[in-house]
Structure 1
Amino acid sequence: MDDISLDAIDMALLDQLQQDASLTNQALAERVHVSPPTCLRRVRRLLDAGFVERQVAILARDRLAPLAGYGLDAIVEITLDRQDNAAMEAFEAKVVAEAAVQQCYRVSPGPDFILVVQAPDMPGYLALAQRLFTADANVRNVKAFFAVKRAKFDPRIALPRPARG
């Protein structure tokens, strides 16, 4: 796709969308001070250009945990024995396919991967760890950190603010 330039209105639209993607076109246009047709045209352009990956609802984790059975969050460092591209791709594909893995990052230096995982409890985490890590002969080291409190969770990307003149 061709590179498109983004101006202050585009950035304001993206900022508003990542705060509340359920806004009507009319409300979004009012918030960024453009006409509704202009707003709609620009949002479609941003969507078509791939600046918005997807629109989701962020659920109230603490309210749902007792109902859904998820109560344990872990940040897991993984180091592999072999770091050739095929080994890295194979491990990444395996963990990305696991629903309990919420986030997966290849990192450097240090461990090869950082995962954010959810499990119902410690036995659930153990079963996940055995399935993903212990059974994989290429996994050399696993270090898990268990969250005792989530102080902040915000998926928004900090966007540049236009200069005030």
Structure 2
Amino acid sequence: MPTAQSSIAAGATSDIPEVASSLRTSVMRMRRRLANERHPDNDLSLGSMAVLGALFANDEMTLGALAARERVQPPSMTRMVNCLEEGGYVARRQGETDRRQVLVSITDKGRRTVRKDRLSRDAWLARQLADIDADELAALRTAATIMERIATS
């Protein structure tokens, strides 16, 4: 005999495709909107900004680790890092123990670019969040944690 909890779980499971579709649509709209709210001085691609963001958080990464994190092929990451290096956003060096390894680090210019871009987008989003109630804000805080877990799985 099914319990109340198993009935709830079964009902929730049947909602998964609908929730997935709704969430996908909302996330894509939010992504496009946030892309439009970038700092006006920033002409870097979203992919380049993702690489700078990874380096901002980790200081230094190998080309292979960057490619894996961004889910691109190593040659694509090499081209992106080349462009970022030419612009003065990143620096690269050989690994100390393995000369074939290329380590990429963010420069001061890269850090400034990430900070300005994040401040611009965060300011827009904070203005939007100012009009929602405390329960909705709490729900979004929980949702952000769940979405981060899903995105990095």
Q: Place the TM-score, normalised by the shorter chain, in its bin.
A: 0.3 to 0.5
Instruction: Please report the TM-score for the alignment, with normalisation by the length of structure 1.
Output: 0.30
Could you say which structure has the higher strand fraction? 1
Instruction: Please report the TM-score for the alignment, with normalisation by the length of structure 2.
Output: 0.32
